[in-house]
Amino acid sequence: MAAQIVSIVVLLVVFGVGTVRPVNLGALALVAAFGVGVLAAHEDFDAVISGFPVDVFVLLLGVTYLFGVASVNGTIGWLVNSAARLVRGNRAVIPWLLFAVAAVPTTAGAAGPAGVALLAPIGLGLAEKYRINPRLAGLMVINGSNSGNFSPLNVLGVIVNGTVARNGIHVSPAWLWLGNFGFTVLLGAAAYCLYGGIELIRQTRSGAAVATPVTAAVGGTGGGASGGASGGTATASGGTGPGTTSGPDGRPAPVPLTLTLVSIVAVACGALVFGLDIGMLAVIAAVLLNLLLPTSSAGALAKVSWNTILLIGGIVTYVALLQRMGTVKLIGDSVAAISAPLLAALLMCFIAALTSAFASSIGVLGAMIPLAVPFLSGGALAATGVVIALAVSATAVDATPFSSMGALTVVSAPEAARDRVSKGLMRWGFSMVVAAPLATWLAFVAI
């Protein structure tokens, strides 16, 4: 018990120090994990470092490296301008288009990070081109992806439905999917209103002119493009990053453009169709492009957001230590023992949301749902409602930069906007730690 309390206190200290001092929070968390692991949990170095998320490291490295190549050779600029032509300059519909497109892969069964990894760079490039708040674009991609989380085809839906079935609890898979979908649509609407969507509608109706700056790409700005009125598209540019090679009309050179597009499509197919690891596929594609096109790929590795990778790696390593020490289970067991089912359900939703803000949503749901079985078996609460509330609470917080989807969105933002996007997603994600459990508890459990 004493060790678990120490681990919580140290985590609070880490966040406190990271807030007031200019030190990477992930680096602080790594130091804290080593100290608590060795001194309080009596683990050796290998055990402590075993919690480092190698899969997330490869994911963030691969995606930012690949789209870094696509950035410096002008492919991202070309994709953004192509997408802009599809929406005919209607700025007000762009965020909802991002939401809808992001919902498709997860509804069909893909993991959320795969869809976000592929769509966020284009979505945030569109946001810069049309002067849309990048936080809105990022949140619409994340919430859109989350809307398909619990479809019967999605891995999260399969895991949750299988877990409750193994524990003898009946839950409607259709209501789980629809309940999550409806809630994430409402979150999308809230983000749209909070981050400038109403103003986009007003400007679109009034025909206000909008400067369309150069399309941005992962981690940096693109090349020259002339501004235009709202409803128009800027002249495409391949970007002016290191190694950019453009054709006579300002477009990316045909060979780098073609090979990069083929690589991105291959990565997407491998991840979404065949279920291969998107991070490793992206690393392979980026390395091959760098080998085949060294001139047009120069500077791509500098686009990798090492600060974000360190941030995620350190925090997740510490949270993994908390899980091995039994800190999360101790809190969950204490809540499950509460004799008032309604209160216990609310507290479990809060625990699921807070834990999932730093850890895997799949792991959190796999641990929390069995803890809810005792009071679900008693029949005092509707099992489907409680499971929906737990599931949504654990995934609505995925916008935090500590989650893989939030981190992918941050690293996809133009470098000048990255800090703004990170802070915006941090505020939104941690507001969901409070708002999502309360709202889902009221909507699906209490009423």
- Which pLDDT does position 85 carry in this prediction? 81
Interval 351-376: pLDDT, tens: 999 988 887 787 788 778 877 777 77
- Which pLDDT does position 236 carry in this prediction? 35
- Which pLDDT does position 139 carry in this prediction? 97
- Which pLDDT does position 226 carry in this prediction? 32
- Which pLDDT does position 436 carry in this prediction? 96
Half-sphere exposure of 13 (CA within 13 A, CB side): 12
- Which pLDDT does position 336 carry in this prediction? 67
Query: Quick count: other Cβ atoms within 10 Å of Cβ 326?
Result: 16
Backbone angle region of 253, left / alpha / beta, with phi > 0 → left and psi within -120 to 50 → alpha: beta
- Which pLDDT does position 312 carry in this prediction? 85
Indicate the helix (H) or strand (E) that contains 175: helix 173-194
Both structure tokens of 344: 């216990």
What residue type is assigned to position 403 of the chain?
S
- Closest by CA to 88, choosing from 208, 214, 231, is 231
- Which pLDDT does position 1 carry in this prediction? 65
Half-sphere exposure of 123 (CA within 13 A, CB side): 33
3-state secondary structure of 220: strand
Interval 418-436: pLDDT, tens: 999 999 999 999 999 999 9
d(CA 324, CA 321): 5
Interval 180-231: pLDDT, tens: 999 999 999 999 999 999 999 998 887 654 544 444 444 443 333 333 333 3
- Name the packing angle between helices 173-194 and 155-166 (round to 10°): 130
- Which pLDDT does position 238 carry in this prediction? 38
- Which pLDDT does position 240 carry in this prediction? 39
d(CA 344, CA 313): 32
- Which pLDDT does position 215 carry in this prediction? 41
- Which pLDDT does position 391 carry in this prediction? 94
Contact 14, 287 (CB under 8 A): no
Which alpha helices (DSSP H) does 273-360 contain, by range?
278-292, 306-325, 327-336, 341-356
Q: Give the mean pLDDT per block of 10 residues along the chain (447 residues).
A: 87 86 89 94 94 90 92 89 79 93 89 89 91 96 95 86 83 93 97 95 74 43 34 38 46 88 94 88 95 91 86 88 85 76 90 86 79 73 91 94 92 89 94 96 91
